[in-house]
Amino acid sequence: MKKKIAILPGDGIGREIASGAASALEAVGKRFGHEFEIEYADIGGAAIDSHGTPLPESTLALAKESDAILLGAVGGPKWDSLPSAQRPERGLLAIRKELGLFANLRPIPSFQTLVQSSPLKPEIAGKVNMLIVRELTGGLYFGKPSERRGENNEVVVDTLQYTRAEIERIVIKAFEFAKARDGRLTSVDKANVLESSRMWREIVNEKAADYPEVTVDHMYVDAAAMKLISSPGQFDVIVTENLFGDILSDEASMITGSLGMLPSASLSESGLGLYEPVHGSAPDIAGQNKANPLAMILSTALMLKYSLDMRTEGEAIERAVQSVLNDGYCTPDLQLEGSTVVGTDKMIELVTSRIAEETTASAGEVVYM
């Protein structure tokens, strides 16, 4: 098959890890006989520097004409003092909105080989296999007005707005995933305080009737934050609104030991998908060959599976990653005793060379979604 892939490296470590995605695709192409036509474009701070705007028209056009999109990360201290409408993060929010990427999927498996790098006890961290379904194009991130007002600008307003249709489509997505997985859905809200959460809860209860095979429970977001630490193994699929999902997914990522391990998929109704690591641009380690490229490489695997109908190919990448970890290699963020610490380039090379051949991960096969 021939597929066109847009790679938007962005800023900071985004540029280093993006090369991991490209190498992984090349290796998949060679082994399985596909042709990936890769085109690069700027987003975020890099786009502010090259085009004067965090999401140039040309980048958006490339994304729209591609079969799928890979994104590194955006943001950095260089652009921190810009007004909010011109910040690098604005580019990321705008591409999500423009492409209608409302469903953000963040799978959080336990990597058996990495259990000791988790701050949680191994018997707790080792039992995790959840999927966070985060609403991505509504809520506080996009509600209007969002501004300072009043005399001297001493009043500030952000708006949490959702339409019924926006909630329905994300809730349906979450039910579909729960049905295909372990059949348990936890809807996270703040219905004891927020009207938006009360409507969210109503809709979840309505849709539950269409999915008798899925068990549903509701949890307030503060309680969910606590349960993620005390008993993360209880979750299968979590569905929640944009801001809660942002916060809970960073929290949940640490169960696996490092934010540097987690991929994500953002899907639209038409099926177009953007794939990016959950972590950010990590300016403190950028350019030092220290970044963990695995979240980006695993995002590439999700892309193959969910946007390009190449499940075997995606799993080949996942197995290659697993096999490198099983052999005791890790990047500095993982702090695994007794393992061989390697830099970004070396990790990319190790994984890529294992994609090239049939690899069997001997222990702890990881199921993403």
**Residue that has been written with the tokens 């209880």 in this structure:** 234
| Amino acid identity at 63 | A
- Say what angle helices 344-355 and 294-306 make with each other, to 10 degrees: 30
* Interface with ligand IPM, residue 92, by CB under 6 A: yes
Active-site annotation holds for 306 = no
CB closer to Mg ion out of 216 and 239: 239
Cβ neighbours around 195 below 10 Å, total? 10
CB 15 within 8 A of CB 72: yes
CA distance 288 to 281: 13
CB closer to ligand IPM out of 252 and 336: 252
Q: Smallest gap, in angstroms, from Cβ of residue 10 to ligand IPM?
A: 10
Binding ligand IPM (rule: CB under 6 A), the pick from 26, 89, 182, 345 is 89
Active-site annotation holds for 141 = yes
Beta-sheet strands, E only, within 176-256: 184-189, 215-220, 237-240
Contact code string over 237-256 relative to ligand IPM, x by CB under 6 A:
---------x----------
Active-site annotation holds for 222 = yes
Which one of ligand IPM, Mg ion, none is in contact with 89 (Cβ closer than 5 to 8 A by kind)? ligand IPM
> What sign for the dihedral angle of Cα 300, 57, 162, 164?
negative
Q: DSSP letter at 212?
A: T
| Phi, psi values for residue 69, rounded to 5° | -130, 135
CB closer to ligand IPM out of 36 and 141: 141
Active-site annotation holds for 182 = no
Which one of Mg ion, ligand IPM, none is in contact with 166 (Cβ closer than 5 to 8 A by kind)? none
Residue of 17, 16, 141, 11 lying closest to 79 (CA atoms): 11
* Interface with ligand IPM, residue 188, by CB under 6 A: no
**Binding to Mg ion, residues 243-262 (CB under 5 A):** 246
Q: Smallest gap, in angstroms, from Cβ of residue 233 to ligand IPM?
A: 23
Active-site annotation holds for 42 = no
Q: Which residues are catalytic?
A: 141, 190, 222, 246, 250
